[in-house]
């Protein structure tokens, strides 16, 4: 049913720390690796070894440069489905293939009902849905539904593949509907925000902003001014004289 649940028991999602992400694309790779054998398998690749390579991916890392006053900084920006609270990708679906789970808020596609009209991908401003031209159906991030509830995995591994693999700890998984959960506290403390709030889809995933850059030496515990080396040392004075010739 493409009408949305009035409320979900949990709001499972990701918190992505833009201050920490180093843009290594490990989350992109592990996402592809897990999901091409997972719930929405396969993540079809077309012409994978030739020119014009194309394929389905659920997670992408963009790299931006943003001006900060006279300065600027590089921000690596991972982006996958945000599992919105009011996702139009679900309500526009004419067949009931797209749905939002009432128990945990995860947005999924039932491939057996999808007619491949692509309207859901038009409705998503975040580019979360990618069409599999080979299978003729729409595919998307499942928040690794086949990992997070998978009792065959060790408990520590019951997180999405992108979170499990991040070597920098830039991705966090949890219940954003519970204000006391570690992810909710992180959002609270760091001023986590929504992407494109003006569209009004209320994304569940949150982004943590880069921390202000420390530009003064004192901020990292170094002395404010460095003393010139070698004052009073005769050998160094001689070397200085010699080299200054």
For 5-70, where are the E strands, in sequence order? 12-17, 45-46, 54-55, 60-68
Shortest Cβ distance from residue 59 to another protein (Å)?
9
Q: Which is nearer to another protein, 212 or 232 (CB)?
A: 212
Shortest Cβ distance from residue 107 to another protein (Å)?
14
Residue 150 to residue 166: CA distance in whole angstroms: 20
Q: Beta partners for 107?
A: 100
Q: Which is nearer to another protein, 98 or 142 (CB)?
A: 98
Q: Which is nearer to another protein, 153 or 195 (CB)?
A: 195
Length of the chain: 245
Report the alpha-carbon angle 220-224-225, nearest 5: 135
Shortest Cβ distance from residue 66 to another protein (Å)?
4
Q: Which is nearer to another protein, 60 or 158 (CB)?
A: 60
User: What stretches of 151-201 show up as alpha helix (H) in DSSP?
Assistant: 161-165, 182-190
Shortest Cβ distance from residue 184 to another protein (Å)?
18
Q: Are the C-beta atoms of residues 214 and 195 closer than 8 Å to each other?
A: no
């Amino acid at each position: 049913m493409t009408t949305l649940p009035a409320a979900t028991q949990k709001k499972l999602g990701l918190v992505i720390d833009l201050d920490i992400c180093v843009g290594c694309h490990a989350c992109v790779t592990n996402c592809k690796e897990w999901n091409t054998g997972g719930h929405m398998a396969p993540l079809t690749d077309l012409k994978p070894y030739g020119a014009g390579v194309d394929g389905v991916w659920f997670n992408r890392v963009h790299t931006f440069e943003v001006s900060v006053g006279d300065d600027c900084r590089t921000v690596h920006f991972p982006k996958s489905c945000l599992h919105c609270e009011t996702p139009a990708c679900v309500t526009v679906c004419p067949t009931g293939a797209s749905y939002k789970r009432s128990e945990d808020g995860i947005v999924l596609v039932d491939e057996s009902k999808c007619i491949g009209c692509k309207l859901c991908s038009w409705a998503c401003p975040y580019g979360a849905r990618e069409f599999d031209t080979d299978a003729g159906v729409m595919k998307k991030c499942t928040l690794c539904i086949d990992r997070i509830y998978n009792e065959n995995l060790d408990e520590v591994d019951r997180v999405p593949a992108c979170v499990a693999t991040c070597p920098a700890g830039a991705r966090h998984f949890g219940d954003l509907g519970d204000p006391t959960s570690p992810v909710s506290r992180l959002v609270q403390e760091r001023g986590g925000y929504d992407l494109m709030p003006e569209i009004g889809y209320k994304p569940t995933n949150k982004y943590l902003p880069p921390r202000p850059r420390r530009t003064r030496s004192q901020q990292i515990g170094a002395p404010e001014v460095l003393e010139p080396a070698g004052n009073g040392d005769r050998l160094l004075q001689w070397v200085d004289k010699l080299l200054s010739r």
